[in-house]
A and B are shown apart, each in its own frame.
Chain A
Amino acid sequence: MTTDTAPQAAATPVEAGKAQTLSVWGALQANVRDYGLLLVLIVIMLAFQWLTNGTLFKPVNLTNIVLQNSYIIVMALGMLLVIVAGHIDLSVGSVSGFIGALAAMLMIGWKFPPEFAFLANPIVAGIICLVVGALIGGLQGWLIAYYRIPAFIVTLAGMLIFKGLSLAILAGKSVGPFPAEFQLLSAGFIPDLVGAITLVPASEGVQPLVLHGTTLVIGIAAVVAMVLFAIRGRTRRKARGYESEPFALFVTKNLVIAALVLFFTYMLASYKGLPNVLVVMGILIAGFVFLTKRMTFGRRIYAMGGNLKAAALSGIKTERLTFYIFAIMGALAALAGMIYAARLNSATPKAGQGLELDVIAAVFIGGASALGGVGQVAGAVTGAFIMGVMNNGMSIMGVNIDWQQMIKGIVLLAAVFFDLYNKNKG
């Protein structure tokens, strides 16, 4: 630290702030995990863009990537909490399959008497499904928290049970198609209230370029809000004498993220606009970022995962917290199950099987620790996209499923290896 001529009156806060000012390089190093992962995603996307001769970045394909991975990301949010808390949930694939089946039976399969016909209403059925999912998760969480049965065992049992239950309530058959309203969850796009914006009109030899106005407006609004929020936070910190990162880094970081969001918005807008499911996902992601970073609930999860005994002795009700975490996971698995079923437009007995592994892999690629206490929502989402882009890219390239599996396995191992290597070095 260099000595300087800070005014006497402000000496204390400035000093405190000084201690927390990091050099650009230091700040980069401190956040190498967060930025690194995003960088890896960008590199993988560019690589596949090249390998697929430009197909990856086609608007229709980007939209597809979102739709294909939405249910993984939804569950990865809950799984992040579970893993940070030091547990695991192997049942989410089966639970999502079961809820998909339940949704199908409520809306199509079961013929209710007229006074109960409202149960087949897509919204009512959707709410029932979410509640049932939360109950399933809560029940498992209750066994894990209060009876101290390892989560691995409880959820392994859950996986088998709900696999069987889906088969049972579907009587081994696929049930579909769903009512149109329900399909909107996965297949729909937000209505264009603003109206189409024509950049390049259709003419001979030229591809027309028409943008979905509302999508564009929402995208720009999101970026503006994000930047304003970041600036406000920074100003407030400064006013109190704190500074967390160098200005140059702050600007670069926000520019890069803003550019990415705008690019993505533009891509989506030039196809059919924002998919409904992306709106749901966006709200959930923002909510979970807030939950983990700013809420006491989230803070307690990290404390518990970092040191269970210390957390308990600090007055955290670890049992109840565990119960809630699994209930949330269950509700998210239910939502994912509905998204999945709506996307396929039918519930099948095999739906959801094996998804738990993709979800867990996404969270670990995203930098969570298997020992608990470490992991970020942004990481888990990025991890899910890394897996999703690889799936999508390799499928376009016509890589066989056997190779796809192997490559995904290697990526998971490499991500965790890199992470541990980094930690041990630091």
Chain B
Amino acid sequence: MADTILEMRSITKTFPGVKALENVNLDVRAGEIHAIVGENGAGKSTLMKVLSGVYPHGSYEGEIVFLGEECRFKTIGDSEHKGIVIIHQELALVPLLSIAENIYLGNEQAKAGMIDWEETREGARKLLRKVGLGEDPDTLVTNIGVGKQQLVEIAKALSKEVKLLILDEPTASLSEKDSDALLNLLLDFKSHGISCILISHKLNEVSKVADRITVIRDGHTIETLEKNEISEDRIITSMVGRSLEDRYPPRTPNIGEVVFEVKNWSVYHPQHRDRQVIKNIDIKLRRGEVVGIAGLMGSGRTEFAMSVFGKSYGVRISGDVLMHGKSIDTSTVQKAVSHGIAYATEDRKTYGLNLIDHIKHNTTIANLFGISRWGVIDDLAELDAANDYRKKTNIRSSSVYQTTGNLSGGNQQKVVLSKWLFANPEVLILDEPTRGIDVGAKYEIYTIINQLAAQGKAILVISSEMPELLGITDRLYVMNEGRIVGEMPTAEASQEKIMRAIVRAEGKAAAS
């Protein structure tokens, strides 16, 4: 087609042990808004990183043709030079520099190394006008809201003579009004011939502005829908339609009495102290029960779990935590652990493991009392424990002396699990327990979860992969914007039902 500006042909990208993208095709026409939708972890962001040169040419297979020539980007600079600009979910602005300085960061308006401040301000003002922002270019970025920061990012992109603008979840943290303004801006760009790739979870937005939609699932392109084919139902079916057979171990639940309860739990944002992140949540876990929390990224699931676990997140926390019907104090991690609560983080590298130390030390660190007396560690007891859990969780390593930083994601996750199993909790909160690990390791993790439930532990699984929740849990909570917006037995749940609960809640929130 003559007006195709970008073609990505059979892109395949593998990470150690995981095939993130397989034979993905994408084409974008001049002056269109092309939406990419898919579940978390489907490979959308990976595809955009391939396109923008974050993953350099050679680290993936397939070819990228932009404006009629094949491109082999080695860095982000290469792709920006061609006019492809990506705006990430996490904004890449320097908070303590001014708007003007941020717009021209790395692209300073300078002569012989001297910054021309007049030119910088004037240029910034023009660009800000284009994106409909009336701020003074000298305002520090930290002093404007997230919505405006997003617009500054776009102004920055415009300063580079962008031909293809990629927006990764641009409206995730924006209010309804700001989102509308942003979407209108995209339509405006379109009329000026700038193409746009929009990655978004919000299907209503996508159906509103997109000319075409490409659906990605499990690293494959499923289909590209033309404007007249687009409807929310159609997109949902396409996004989630995958078989579940044999991906989850069989489960025969044996559910007992209520063990763990959180009542009327409220949490505020640690920096913006008047923003309520968790809004009056009530949940219950029973003995031997696996309960899931579904929800989109940013719905507050992790924040909820971490605030319960030793107040590790948030401020002005209120509410009650009950264990066997008795109120307990979980105000520090140590207290939470001693009451039998464990929380395995979603981000094992930042919050889960000491990556420079070996498996043995990582396994025992949350329960040093279990291997010591009077503060002296019994090294053989420790070695026994580490070997025991290495076997129980089936960690593949040369020995317990292998550095955890050198393990694959799946094995690292098993070390995190070992650590918390060794602490012998009654209630286990698993946050994204299978993120970034391959199918085989996922199956092993699910098996472990089943075994733990069979031993009578209560397990709360937070996951962005809905099939996973449907495959391994007994009951589901649906969370959106800090609230529980739905609860259902897994037997009666479906991905469509969950999605609808979320969308309905969003509609309600928008209406109110």
Q: What residues of chain A have their CB less than 8 Å away from a CB belonging to chain B?
A: 16, 19-20, 236-237, 240, 242, 294-297, 299-300, 302-303, 306-307, 309-317, 369, 373-374
B residues in contact with A296, CB < 8 Å? 368-369, 372, 375-377
Q: Which residue of A lies closest to B406 (CB)?
A: A426
**Structural contact, B387 and A303, CB atoms closer than 8 A:** no
**Structural contact, B357 and A242, CB atoms closer than 8 A:** no
B residues in contact with A294, CB < 8 Å? 376-377, 379
Smallest CB-CB A-B distances: 7 pairs: A306-B354, A314-B366, A315-B333, A315-B334, A296-B368, A307-B354, A20-B399
Q: How far is the CB of A270 from chain B (nearest CB, A)?
A: 38
**Number of inter-chain CB pairs below 8 Å:** 89
**Structural contact, B398 and A306, CB atoms closer than 8 A:** no
**Structural contact, B353 and A299, CB atoms closer than 8 A:** no
**Structural contact, B356 and A373, CB atoms closer than 8 A:** yes
Given A16-B387, A296-B375, A303-B361, do A311 and B368 touch, yes or no (CB 8 Å)?
A: no
State the CA gap A299–B366 with chains docked (Å). 11
**Structural contact, B399 and A19, CB atoms closer than 8 A:** yes
Contact-residue bracket for chain B:
35 or more
Q: Which of A19, A309, A316 contacts B350 (CB 8 A)?
A: A309
Q: Which residue of B lies closest to A300 (CB)?
A: B368
**Structural contact, B357 and A312, CB atoms closer than 8 A:** no
**Structural contact, B355 and A307, CB atoms closer than 8 A:** yes
Say yes or no for B380: interface residue by CB 8 A criterion: yes
Q: How far is the CB of A373 from chain B (nearest CB, A)?
A: 5
Q: How far is the CB of A425 from chain B (nearest CB, A)?
A: 14
Say yes or no for B312: interface residue by CB 8 A criterion: yes
Say yes or no for B419: interface residue by CB 8 A criterion: yes
Q: How far is the CB of A238 from chain B (nearest CB, A)?
A: 11
Say yes or no for B343: interface residue by CB 8 A criterion: yes
**Structural contact, A374 and B356, CB atoms closer than 8 A:** yes
Say yes or no for B401: interface residue by CB 8 A criterion: yes
Q: Which residue of A lies closest to B371 (CB)?
A: A296
Say yes or no for B100: interface residue by CB 8 A criterion: no
| Cβ proximity bits B307-347 to A, threshold 8 Å, 1 near / 0 not | 00110100000000000000000001110110000010100
Given A296-B368, A300-B368, A303-B365, do A317 and B334 touch, yes or no (CB 8 Å)?
A: yes
Q: Which residue of A lies closest to B401 (CB)?
A: A20
Additional pairs, 17, CB under 8 Å, beyond known A295-B377, A311-B354, A313-B352:
A240-B383, A240-B384, A295-B372, A296-B375, A297-B375, A299-B368, A300-B368, A302-B354, A303-B357, A303-B361, A306-B354, A307-B350, A309-B351, A310-B351, A312-B333, A315-B334, A315-B366
**Structural contact, A299 and B365, CB atoms closer than 8 A:** yes
> Among B310, B356, B380, B400, which residue has the most Cβ atoms of chain A within 10 A?
B356
A residues in contact with B369, CB < 8 Å? 296
State the CA gap A19–B391 with chains docked (Å). 13
**Structural contact, B355 and A306, CB atoms closer than 8 A:** yes
State the CA gap A316–B366 with chains docked (Å). 8
A residues in contact with B345, CB < 8 Å? 310, 313
Q: How far is the CB of A156 from chain B (nearest CB, A)?
A: 23
Q: How far is the CB of A23 from chain B (nearest CB, A)?
A: 12
5 A-B interface contacts by CB (under 8 A)? A296-B372, A300-B365, A303-B361, A317-B332, A369-B356
B residues in contact with A307, CB < 8 Å? 350, 353-356
**Structural contact, B343 and A313, CB atoms closer than 8 A:** yes
Q: How far is the CB of A26 from chain B (nearest CB, A)?
A: 10
State the CA gap A387–B345 with chains docked (Å). 44
**Structural contact, B361 and A240, CB atoms closer than 8 A:** no
Q: Which residue of B lies closest to A21 (CB)?
A: B399
A residues in contact with B400, CB < 8 Å? 20
A residues in contact with B333, CB < 8 Å? 312-316
Q: How far is the CB of B338 from chain A (nearest CB, A)?
A: 8
State the CA gap A281–B401 with chains docked (Å). 31
**Structural contact, A310 and B399, CB atoms closer than 8 A:** no
Q: How far is the CB of A317 from chain B (nearest CB, A)?
A: 7
B residues in contact with A313, CB < 8 Å? 309-310, 312, 333, 343, 345, 351-352
B residues in contact with A369, CB < 8 Å? 356
